[in-house]
Amino acid sequence: MTDRVGRVLGTQRSSTREFQVLIDDDAYLQLDDLVVVPIEVPGFGEVDTYGIVTEAEAEYEGASFATDTRRIAEEGTLPAETVRTAEVAITRVDPEVWVSPNPGVSVSRATGDARDKALYADDMRRPLPVGVGRDGEPVFVDLDFFDGRKGGHMSISGISGVATKTSFALFFLRLLTGRPEIVGEGANNLRVLVFNVKGEDLLWLDKPNALFDESDRAVWDALGVEPGPFPSVGFWAPARQGGGGVVTPDASGRMTDINPFRWTPREFVDEGLLRFLFTDASDTRNQLSFVEERVRSQLRRWAADIAGEPGAVVLRQPGPGGHREAVSNVAADELIIRDFSDLVSVLERLLDPGDGSDPDLAWTGRVQSGTVAAFVRRLYAAQTRLGHLIAAGESIRIDRQRAQVSVVAIQNLHDLAQRFVVGALLQEVFDEKEESGQRLPLSVVVLDELNKYAPREGSSPLKEMLIDIAQRGRSLGVLLVGAQQSASRVAQEVMENAAIRVAGRLDAAEAERSEYGWMLPSTRARARLLKPGTMVVSQPAIPVPLVVNFPFPPWATRAEEVDHTDDPDPFDVV
């Protein structure tokens, strides 16, 4: 606290929210610098006021006209003095006696313990670094406000390709998995589910980055994490369409150490995944949702296992005790479902009782034929888009316990299929936590393009699930890290429940939306100009948003970045 930089400016009013500093001739203050001001309060004693620089200005004191600048700087015919000032937003008062700083009081740069106090790091029970400030020192978030103890979830917004939203999310996850002493209980059993929705950038998290150098290492060292790829990652991709009986993952860039996944008809029925075929917001404006609910419940009631055919089901009238045992005597003309094509054909038959089928199997209820026809058309459309994800056989599901981080590559799927996979996996995660009733171990879900899955307008089963996770997930240990270009296009219930909010570069019009009301006016202006790797972070523990930089990733973000130095020589003979 001995690094004096100036005095509280006396020509402008100071308040309990902000004040200005007259900077000394031999000192400087830049944006995001932290300062401390000791104040002697009559009748109480000394109070320390901490703040962060939000703007810096300079002017000639004594100049009245624009041309006076030339007379002062070049000709020396007009006396004047350069005056440099800085605007400071108050972050903390200790002890909490909220009085305004007195004019003329000495202002010092906050370093060491004073810096920790300015950023409330001394009050955080589990401070997790989320980047470095302009001084190169770590900036922290209180992990209690992410993992559900006091709050939960994180929202990341910004322009696509410039705001580096996914890069920051992965950086945060690397710190979360790399600092078990901060995460505490359950750190080793923490599980992360990451959806790769664009390109194959996330399929190289386990490979070192050839572009990573020693200058980048220094920042990681400051954050307390050994820089390197993610140590425990599992990669999954949907089963490739038309595999000819061989189940292979649908990925083109990475061909090794990646596993396929799909669902059997039995799993499709038991888990009620039919509803995730109707995730368009317009589906709730008609009776399609009613038909879907009726068909979903009837499938569960009538579906019976077939002996010798794992994953396949046959629709039969259940007995008094329901379906308890696998059916062995199945005729070829029965309602057998071995894949999605069979499911569509069977449902089309059941939903049209006029074609000679058993009237006891008619599932239409009192629904107009036009609605039933629209329902069947949706099924046929889904058949071409995701039918290959449903097939009988041995269960091939994503095993999230195999690795700490599971990356699910859905970038090659149709939009409808992407929403289906996201909905099915989110339901699986949420159901597991509800059944256990325990918050630990934590399950973190990273989902880009959140506005596509939980849009502001309309309703869908997927949107309802994301809202449920946002509202109840933190109590169950299900935490959402959502990224989107525009927070104004995401369901309000999801955004309101994000305790930690992050923004990269924003579009000028987007920055003025009410969803960014947590920013200071000066921060909003800066958000339009932020460079990649610079983010604005807001958290409940600190009353003002902070601008942080996060380091270059030591893991590859695309195939051409992979460092092959330590790869084994394929010509070596063992």
CA distances from 545 to 20, 31, 157, 523 (A): 19, 13, 14, 8
To the nearest 5 percent, what fractions of the chain are helix, strand and coil? Answer: 35, 25, 40
- Name the residue type at position 538: S
pTM across the whole model:
0.92
pLDDT score, position 361: 47
Helices (H), 478-546: 492-496, 508-511, 521-527
**pLDDT per residue as tens digits for the range 76-129:** 889 999 999 999 999 999 999 999 999 999 999 999 999 999 999 999 999 999
**What H or E segment, with its residue span, contains residue 42?**
none
Could you tell me which of 340, 331, 337, 342 has the C-alpha nearest to residue 314? 337
Q: Which residues contact 151 (CB under 8 A, 6 or more apart)?
A: 144, 145, 474, 499, 500, 540
Tokens read off for 257 = 């150490």
The angle formed by the CA atoms of residues 461, 467 and 471, to the nearest 5 degrees, is: 145
- What residues form DSSP beta bridges with 22? 7, 85
- Structure-token match 């700490």, residue found: 404
Q: How confident is the model at residue 190 (pLDDT cuts 50, 70, 90)?
A: very high
Tokens read off for 540 = 């409940």
Tell whether the model's pLDDT for residue 284 goes beyond 80: no
Please state the φ and ψ torsions of residue 488, each to the nearest 5 degrees. -70, -10
Q: Tell me if 264 sits within 8 A of 254, measured CB to CB.
A: no
**pLDDT per residue as tens digits for the range 403-420:** 999 999 999 999 999 999
- Name the residue type at position 233: V
CATH number of 127-260+400-561: 3.40.50.300
Calculate mean pLDDT across residues 249-274. Answer: 94
Spell out the domain ranges in the chain: 4-117, 127-260+400-561, 265-389
Between CA 381 and CA 386 the distance in angstroms is 9
pLDDT score, position 574: 46
CA distances from 142 to 120, 185, 483 (A): 9, 16, 20
Between CA 277 and CA 387 the distance in angstroms is 11
Q: Is the peptide bond before 95 cis (omega within 30 degrees of 0)?
A: yes
Please state the φ and ψ torsions of residue 487, each to the nearest 5 degrees. -65, -25
Burial grade of 282 (CB within 10 A; 0-12, 13-18, 19 or more): exposed
